[in-house]
Amino acid sequence: MNKTEFITSVAEKSGLSKTDAKKAVDAFIETVSDEMKAGGKVSLLGFGSFSISERGERKGVNPATKQTITIPARKAIKFKAGAELNEKVQ
C-alpha cells in the first residue's frame, strides 16, 4: 500500500473527504517526524511506538576492496509494534 492508497483507505474508514484525510495523514507524519528529530518518543497505545536508537561508530569492510573502513555513528528510528497490532497480524 502506498501513501495515496493509505489516504483513500483512511478517508473511507473515517468518513472524511480525501482532502481532509490527506491533511490528517500529513499532520501525523509531520508530528512523528518532528518528535523524532527532537529526540523524543511517540507511543500509540495498541499500535506501537517510534523511538530513536543511537548507533555507535564501528569498523566495517568494503566488500569491493576488502579494505577496513570506519562507519560513523548515527541515529536510527526504531518501531516496536504494540500487542494489539501483533495479535491482528498473526
Instruction: Identify the CATH class of 3-89.
Output: few secondary structures
Q: Are 26 and 10 in contact (CB under 8 A)?
A: no
User: For each of the chain's 90 residues, which pLDDT tens digit applies?
Assistant: 999 999 999 999 999 999 999 999 999 999 999 999 998 999 999 999 999 999 999 999 999 999 999 999 999 999 999 999 999 998
* Residue spans per domain, the chain: 3-89
- The number of beta carbons lying within 10 Å of the beta carbon of residue 21 is 20
Output the pTM of the full model. Answer: 0.76
